[in-house]
Amino acid sequence: MATNVPKFASFRPKPKEPEQSTKESPRPEKHAKSKTSSREKEKVREKERPRDSSGREKDSRPREHDAAPSKVYFSDRRGDRDFAKYGTFNKYDVPPYRLFGYGHVLGLPLGAKIDRDRSTDKEVVITPPQGQRQKRLLTEKRISREPTRSVRFVKVTAEEGGLDADFIAIGKRKREGSDEDEDDDYRRLDRPTSVTKPSDPDAEYESETVGDADSEVTQRNAILVRRTRENPQDVQAWLDLIDHQEPMMKIDRSLSDFNSSDKQNLADIRISTYEHALKKMTTDEGSQARLYAGLMAEASRSWDELRLSNKWTEILSKFPACEQLWIQYLDFVQSSFTTFKYENCRTTFFKCLKTLYNSEQKGQKDFVLHVFVRLTSMIHQAGYQELALAVWQALLEFQLLRPKSLLNESLKECLRSFEEFWDSEVARIGEEGAAGWEKFDQNISLPPPPGNEPIEAPATTATNMDDFCKQEVENESKLRYPGRTTDELGEDDPFHTVLFSDIEEFLTLVPQDTPAKTILNALLYFCGLPPIQVDNDMSGYPIDPLLQCTFAKTSFDGGTSDTLTQIMKRYSSVPVQSWQSTTELLFTKAFPTYSGVVEAVFIRRLLKLLAFDVPADEALGEYLLALESQYFPTEAQKTAKKLLKARPSSLRLYNAYALAESRGGNSAKADQVFSAALSMQKDNSPFSTPGSLELFNNWVWEALRQGKSNEALQRLVSPTGKIVEETVPQQATLLRTRTVLSELTERSLLGNDFPSAVTSTSLSALLAYLSNNQNVDIALNIHTTLAKWFTSHALSQSPAAELHAQAIAHFLAHHATHARIVKPSLLRTTLEPLLASFPNNTILLSLYAANEARFSIDDRVRDMLHNNVLANPKDRSIVYWTFAIHYETLRGLASGSTSHSIRALYLKAEDDIGAHCPALWKQHVVFEIAEARKESAKYPSAKKPRKDGKKRKEETRVEEAYKRVKDVFFRGVTMLPWCKEFAMMAFTHLGSEFLSEEERRRVYGVLAEKELRVYVELVGGGFVAN
């Protein structure tokens, strides 16, 4: 039967396994040096290889891979052509592999393992054998918010320090006997240089992995370190290294914003670097002053006030005439809550002005007046408003209206004569019936100016908070201007009447040869008004956060329409405006709508007294017409006729008169004035008369504002104001106009008349745009030519280049609102380079935001604000912070803006350059009050309490909102110790709704402690003022 059994292959007996040697070759020790030769090693490998019964080597690979050819090793002579396209290798060309050994790597010591947290699909990171065991985050009791350390060092290797060597060192040969830890084995995946540790146990060397995303930051740091070592006298290298420490701290961070401890650590690092740089910088005083300015800016975050005060005394003794150091020191004295006293702060300002006045350096008149504005603004904000205004009245009378008989007299003699004028108490500049000091001798018998209407005497005491608030506000309004000894109003107030002894010292602090326009612009800066435009002088005062007492609201009322024009109006109403002033902007959006330090009528009387003087400049008349067109529109025409009667050939005044008529809605009258004035040019060559080019430019744009493109083109080819009756200008006419404008641009650039060059270039671009079927690319190419000229002459960030950027934005705004089809990318790509050069220009910012507001899917404005400016400390300004808050407020909830996002911007601004900005703190308090009341309205208190006695979630939210109001207000009080108006918000805005009576009495005590002006004494209730 056995023979009938079928013989299947599965029943065959398995072949015997080959006998293997039971002896294993001894494994080499971990740190033993290999002394066998390559041939001996090969023999050992031959013996260890498994063989089958026939003596051939046994294939140890799995059976399923036998059919596929091996791709572990192959010669690639072409490379992957798609690598540059996709940025990685083709995953199907990567041979399969297996992981084995729990992270150990074949050929490396047992202590080295693969770091699975830091390794990716593109690189493998090996932990060093000496490294400490990584903590397991999920099993740790305390999990840190940031996995990286704050302090990181970059170890400069020998290769970085020997780039300039005369030879290239060749490493040792691999065959030479060496220890495993000393040589770079080809099998090591990370190939570290060494595993030494720094002396600080809380710090570690930065990884130098090639694939590190932050390698560029570390390389930049190494380059800057090398620059400071090679040339220690290079102050810019030190400043760049110090600025670079912030990006260094952001390496491997998931959060871009620093907390308080991070900022403290960054300040300590920078202070140490500044001190090291100052030790190297021993000869150049200018470089030392720059380093000291940066040192004290960082020290304000780290040192106590006593140490800061002592250091400031030491620094100013070395650099008594450094403008930047004085400004920082004045900021420190004025904003220090613990040490601020009104009299001490005023004494410090006097010391600064006297030091600058007696210094040997010339050309500091603008800076002296800037400090003078800071001084008078501090006096006004502290409550002594009569003194601040009287100081400016005295300065204008003493400098601008001095009698001709005293022009060559000494300062002492002029002061003696001015004392007689001031004590006579006749009408002073800005007051009704004022004639000026120069006419005082002829009108010696003039009576004092008429006083105010009979009103009730102001109260001086109050027994409760409500009466105190009401009476204090009334007194501030009634006693706004300096009083006379004959006034019954305020006769019991010793600060209301300003005597000559109160202002005499102020008159000696300003140089006697200061130009009149400079003094006038300083006064306008003090009043929060735009400056007077000066020919070919586009420099202005910097926007100082401490001088921003109240955020202005512009006259634009954008409404709720979604058209681009209305959106632009809404975004352009940013509280703080910043641009290069032009005549057209002066008449359209320069003046605020609120009543600032003084009333508009005071400035109007002041300008009329100076503008009608025959030797006066035409710029004063132009400014007067712009002021009246905003605040007194019915009087502008009368004033214009009086000014033109005194100067009938002034094209600048004609231009201002036409703009005033256009603003008033009388376009026909404006066109008539424009055309008549252009026909008055005497020279045959176009635009040779002063003021004719700007007059012609506004005439052309007046037609475009009315939507008359064809008429605008006809005006462009009619520089004399006489339009030829042609439907379309001929090519010869267009060529002649293009040549005239091109030659005018070249002459203006050669003569450094940059405003005229910008205007003529804008007209050339407009001519090409209108004559080529509104082709925007041709016009932008003409603008690009001028921009390249500015760049080639190192003027790409000059005021002239900013004026040119505004002209481009003006043209783009017209194209976007009048063209049938406009690509949003056109405005975006054109404005982004301009914003990179002028990040604080609100005209560029508002146009960019309006363009992106129509397509809010990609929030490019937020990204631009954060990446371009807010992330760069050098470009941060109060203008940019206020625009960011203004933009976030207008976006609305539907676009992703919430109260939390707006609040976050306030907090960031107050922790940055807006820390001592009164207007910013006021706006923040008002915002928190509105949010608290909204929260309270959502959850009325009429609900029944819970049975368990616990508070409801709604009640907790309301309490948190009310607490935020108090917290913001009290933080603001500590940051603004000189600002009485902000402290008075405890009574005018917060009241009993947010503050208890005891808290309000404490605020009143702060007013007395800081020596601020209080009109009404709070008595009763057991309260005693300090």
Closest CA to 770 of 714, 695, 699: 714
pLDDT of residue 32: 43
State which H helix or E strand residue 36 sits in. Answer: none
DSSP string, 813-873: HHHHHHSS---HHHHHHHHHHHHHH-TT-HHHHHHHHHHHHT--SS-HHHHHIIIIIIT-G
Q: Are 889 and 924 in contact (CB under 8 A)?
A: no
Beta bridge partners of 57: 51
Query: Which tokens hold the place of 168?
Result: 């290239």
pLDDT of residue 182: 45
Percent of the chain past pLDDT 90, that is, above it, reads: 49
In angstroms, the Cα distances linking 767 to 255, 762, 781, 839 are: 50, 9, 13, 29
pLDDT of residue 149: 47
Query: Which tokens hold the place of 187?
Result: 């099998």
**Mode of pairing for the β-strands spanning 1017-1018 and 461-462:** parallel
pLDDT of residue 179: 47
Beta bridge partners of 537: 534
Number of helices (H) and strands (E) in the chain: give both, helices first: 41, 6
Query: Which tokens hold the place of 446?
Result: 């003039």
* pLDDT one-digit tens code per residue, 838-893: 988 999 999 999 998 877 666 788 888 877 665 566 767 899 899 999 999 988 76
3-class state of residue 203 by DSSP? coil
DSSP letter at 197 equals: -
Mean pLDDT of the chain: 81
Q: What is the mean pLDDT of residues 1000-1011?
A: 94
Q: Are 249 and 152 in contact (CB under 8 A)?
A: yes
State which H helix or E strand residue 759 sits in. Answer: helix 754-771
Residue 197 has pLDDT above 90, yes or no: no
Contact residues for 220 (Cβ-Cβ < 8 A; gap 6+): 244, 247
Tally of CA atoms within 13 A in the half-sphere of 558 that contains its CB: 20
In angstroms, the Cα distances linking 397 to 148, 178, 434 are: 64, 90, 11
pLDDT of residue 961: 94
Contact residues for 1011 (Cβ-Cβ < 8 A; gap 6+): 341, 342, 343, 382
The rounded distance, in Å, linking the Cα atoms of 942 and 998 is 27
The more confident residue out of 35 and 756 is: 756
Residue 760 has pLDDT above 80, yes or no: yes
**For 143, phi and psi rounded to 5 degrees?**
-105, 120
The rounded distance, in Å, linking the Cα atoms of 875 and 871 is 8
* pLDDT one-digit tens code per residue, 936-969: 888 776 456 666 667 778 888 999 999 999 999 9
**For 154, phi and psi rounded to 5 degrees?**
-115, 120
DSSP letter at 194 equals: -
pLDDT of residue 311: 96
Distance between start and end Cα atoms, the chain = 127
Contact residues for 28 (Cβ-Cβ < 8 A; gap 6+): 34
Please list the helix, strand and coil fractions of the chain in percent, rounded to the nearest 5, in that order.
55, 0, 45
* pLDDT one-digit tens code per residue, 884-930: 999 999 887 667 789 999 999 999 999 989 999 999 999 999 999 99
CA 582 to chain CA mean position, Å: 23
3-class state of residue 527 by DSSP? helix
**For 461, phi and psi rounded to 5 degrees?**
-135, 155
Q: What is the mean pLDDT of residues 643-655?
A: 92
Residue 91 has pLDDT above 90, yes or no: no
* pLDDT one-digit tens code per residue, 299-357: 998 999 999 999 999 999 999 989 999 999 999 999 999 999 999 999 999 999 999 98
**Mode of pairing for the β-strands spanning 126-127 and 204-205:** unpaired
Contact residues for 93 (Cβ-Cβ < 8 A; gap 6+): 71, 80
DSSP letter at 534 equals: B
Place of tokens 């009143």: 1004
The size of the chain, in residues, is: 1026
Confidence of residue 815 (pLDDT cuts 50, 70, 90): very high
* pLDDT one-digit tens code per residue, 678-723: 988 876 678 888 889 999 999 999 999 999 999 999 999 998 888 8
DSSP letter at 932 equals: H
Q: Are 169 and 221 in contact (CB under 8 A)?
A: no
Contact residues for 453 (Cβ-Cβ < 8 A; gap 6+): none
In angstroms, the Cα distances linking 292 to 185, 244, 285, 302 are: 49, 18, 10, 15
pLDDT of residue 870: 56
pLDDT of residue 853: 83
Contact residues for 916 (Cβ-Cβ < 8 A; gap 6+): 331, 334, 335, 545, 546, 975, 976
pLDDT of residue 624: 95
State which H helix or E strand residue 235 sits in. Answer: helix 235-243
The rounded distance, in Å, linking the Cα atoms of 421 and 444 is 9
Alpha-helical regions (H) of 488-617: 500-507, 516-527, 564-572, 583-588, 600-611
> What 3 state SS string does 96-108 have?
CCCCCCCCECCCC
Residue 96 has pLDDT above 80, yes or no: no
Provide the strand spans (E) within 612-682. Answer: none
Residue 206 has pLDDT above 80, yes or no: no
Closest CA to 422 of 396, 453, 384: 396
Percent of the chain past pLDDT 70, that is, above it, reads: 74
DSSP string, 37-57: -HHHHHHHHHHHS-B-TTSPB
Place of tokens 């917290």: 967
* pLDDT one-digit tens code per residue, 213-227: 467 888 999 999 999
In angstroms, the Cα distances linking 6 to 14, 88, 777 are: 18, 58, 92
pLDDT of residue 16: 57
DSSP letter at 454 equals: P
pLDDT of residue 1018: 84
* pLDDT one-digit tens code per residue, 448-504: 565 554 456 677 788 888 899 999 999 998 888 998 888 777 677 889 999 999 999
The more confident residue out of 846 and 6 is: 846
Residue 813 has pLDDT above 90, yes or no: yes
* pLDDT one-digit tens code per residue, 110-158: 778 888 777 876 778 888 776 555 555 444 544 444 444 445 545 444 4
The rounded distance, in Å, linking the Cα atoms of 462 and 1020 is 8
CA 559 to chain CA mean position, Å: 28
Q: Are 813 and 847 in contact (CB under 8 A)?
A: yes
Lowest mean pLDDT among 447-461, 523-537, 986-1000: 447-461
